[in-house]
Amino acid sequence: MATVTNWIDHLSAKEVQGAIYPGVGSEGVLVIILVVLWIGWHVIAARQESEKLEKLARKRHGPNDWKSNVTDG
């Protein structure tokens, strides 16, 4: 996984390799993981939000009911 194991060898090479992160060459896989995380987040967050909104809507609180929930701080 390590791209660099010896800095002296790395920096004294005829052509210094720029990319030094672990797993050079695996960028495509990392991008796929990021896309899955991104889309997955939307799906999960949207579901959570819909459930919360529906639950709160069913309770039909009045426009001033929130005032009874104001804390002392």
Return residues touching another protein (CB under 8 A).
16-21, 24, 27-28, 30-31, 34-35, 37-38, 42, 45-46, 49-50, 52-63, 65-66, 68-72
Min CB(62)–another protein separation in Å:
7
Number of neighbours of residue 24 by Cβ within 10 angstroms = 14
Q: Which residues contact 21 (CB under 8 A, 6 or more apart)?
A: 3
Residue 16: Cβ-neighbour burial (10 angstroms; 0-12, 13-18, 19+): exposed
Min CB(1)–another protein separation in Å:
15
Q: Pick between residue 2 and residue 49 the one whose CB is nearest to another protein.
A: 49
